[in-house]
Structure 1
Amino acid sequence: MTQLATFDYTMPVFLENHDAEITLRPGTTKSDIVVYLYQNPEWGYSPQDIKEALDIPRGTATTTLKRLYDEDYIGKTADGYYHALGERGDIRRYVANHNQAHRMFGHHRDTDATPEEPETKIGEDRTDEGLDAELAELEDELNG
């Protein structure tokens, strides 16, 4: 059986903005939902909307949204739409840091990403004779 590589999604924290009360971990459903809601703070979302946007099971969306609401990470309208809380600057900073880390390092974790092939490979346009001449020139410089 082939074992898939796992990644540790922890990241360093900038202490000036660090809030130990935030128990979110990047790469978890809780974190993904919070990031999604805070990236779209002007909208309210149903559990079905979150399920579709994040491609998670409906039960997971419903349960996680309720937990986030109970923990005061997100708000909820009287008719059941979940949303970002305007007064939670600490969570907005978490989301900003998350987004910055994803921009810096996220592409390394994308399993669908394939490395780009360079247009030409180094030395591809050189001949053996040219390489031999270059090597001889370098040897002369070293010996000379």
Structure 2
Amino acid sequence: MSSAQLYNDWHDEDGKPAPPPPLPVCLKEPPLYTSNPGKVHPKVFAIPLLTSDILRFMNKFLPKDRSNNVDKHYVFTERFWEFTPDGVDRLAYIVVPLKEGRLWYPLGLVIGSNLNEEDMQQARDEALVKQVQEILEVKTQPAWYHYRNPDH
């Protein structure tokens, strides 16, 4: 099965395209990074985004944008924060482990991180998570992921 086929087969219970649920290892809250930077890896608490999520967001919040789909992705990265709650203003390329043993590297909307206590508290805020899911119109559960530089 090609990766394109794999990603095209992801749907939620309503038949809407959706990432697969996070693996149990990604649901475990990591220690605070500053507790031991040599041993604790920085992670983000994020919702992985499909292209369809980004395009739906753009059509909802920036309907007058007439960019092509590639450019809409760029506009999303520049303007999403205008429509999200305070503090939810970061994106990251996240490393999502899949049950098949593969890795997926989507753009993720960051809700919190283990970089400081304030970010950890934000990640624990269930009302904030629900608000972000409603804005994105997704049911995708956020989880703890490593992140990477998109150039590598």
- TM-score over 0.5 for the pair: no
TM-score by length of 2: 0.23
Structure with the bigger percentage of helix = 1
TM-score norm. by structure 1 comes to 0.24
Structure with the largest fraction of strand: 2
Q: Which has the larger radius of gyration?
A: 1
Structure having greater relative contact order (Cα 8 Å, sep ≥ 6)? 2
